[in-house]
Amino acid sequence: MPRKQIELSNRVEYLNILDLEGNADAALDPKLDANELRKLFRAMLLARRYDERMLKLQRQGRIGTYGPALGQEAASLGPAYVLGKDDWMAPSFREPAGMLYRGWPMEKLILWWGGNETGSSTPTGVNDTPICVPVSSQCLYAAGIAWGCKLKGGKNVALGFVGDGGTSEGDFHEALNVAGAFQLPLVIVIQNNHWAISLPRQKQSAAQTLAQKAIAYGMNGLQVDGNDILAMVAATREAVEHARSGKGPMLIEAVTYRMGVHTTADDPKKYRTEEEVACWQPKDPLERFWKYLAKKKVMDEKAREALEAELAEQITAAVAKAEAYEPDITEPFRHSLAEMPPTLKEQFAEFQAYMDSSSRPDNGSAPSAHDPLMSRLH
């Protein structure tokens, strides 16, 4: 009886283009023109400054718990940059760089972190699902959309994000399994930031790479330097073209690092060392890309200063707009489904009758969660 090595038809590769000094591998460089490079830098810088401002807003009690994306801008922006307007994206909560680039108004993201339902309503003309926190659920959304794209017979592609911790969830494996079996036009990007809250990557999986999990589902995997925007663009471009041409799904593992807290509710000093964080400082995706642009003379310090000032004004205006927003207490009914089913319509009518009732015990203010009606609605 034979015992031999099985030849697998799929492969796993590693991709890096920019070194730490901003020098690009000429053979792998996606060769974006100056306007494209400036556009990418603007989007990365905007995401970085937005992230910094959101942390301050949280510390001032002006929004709720916040999950920073510091250090992961390239892993988010690269895939979003490659997608077409009619393609679909299912983000988690560390993709503000990609979401802002795709056309989400900043004030809408601020409202989401502030707990307003309108922050979950996708802007008209943007083919994205809203920020979704449940771990790995984005993979199923993206796979379902990809299946819909295939059934419609078009060339659209769906892309979903998941963290390294999410690859331990059933949703991740179910999405890849159905995508491989039905050859769906799906791209899944793993944001491997090395920590699933306080659990390190090596405790998530004994696999040498997370990209190699693609092999089990009959697709190619690509491990990419996730702090290298050129590599993320090149890798996603390859995966999207592969999916769009009918060749099926691909899995990308973006190796990056969460420089900040998991969320403002935790303290990473309790579970990781400052030495570990310091090792990742030279790999900062924004400054590496800046070195590349400076060497190519695409931008200079004066242009960066002008851009910083422009973005600061944009962020200030977005914060003001978000904080001026007056929420409608019926928003949870309006943003969940395109059309309310009869049961929800019934609840909505009951809720409106309650709000109009002169017998409300709270004398006209918003109902509390302890009210019997609110308990039923939840």
pLDDT of residue 41: 98
Q: Which of 357, 354, 333 is nearest to 345 (CA)?
A: 333
262 annotated active-site: yes
Q: Which of 48, 94, 258, 288 is catalytic?
A: 258
For residues 287 and 281, what is the distance between their CA atoms, to the nearest angstrom? Answer: 10
The string over 96-129, giving b where at least 16 C-beta atoms fall within 10 Å of a residue's C-beta and e elsewhere, is bbbbbbbebbbbbbbbbbbebbbbbbbeeeebbb
pLDDT tens-place string over residues 82-125? 999 999 999 999 999 999 999 999 999 999 999 998 899 899 99
The span from the CA of 209 to the CA of 268, in Å, is 24
Torsion, CA 310, CA 263, CA 134, CA 152, rounded to 10:
20
User: Of 41-55, 175-189, 325-339, where does mean pLDDT reach its minimum?
Assistant: 325-339
Burial of residue 375 (number of CB atoms within 10 Å: 0-12, 13-18, 19+): exposed
pLDDT of 377 > 70? The answer is: no
Selected catalytic residue, list 94, 102, 262, 288: 262
Catalytic residue among 11, 271, 334, 376: 271
Residue 242 is among the residues annotated as catalytic for this protein = no
Predicted TM-score (pTM) of this structure? 0.92
- Asked if 243 contacts 157 with a C-beta cutoff of 8 angstroms, the reply is yes
370 is catalytic: no
Helix-helix angle 285-295:229-244, to 10 degrees: 100
Read off the pLDDT of each residue in 321-345 and give the average, rounded to a whole number: 88
pLDDT digits (tens, 9 = 90+) for 26-51: 999 999 999 999 999 999 999 999 99
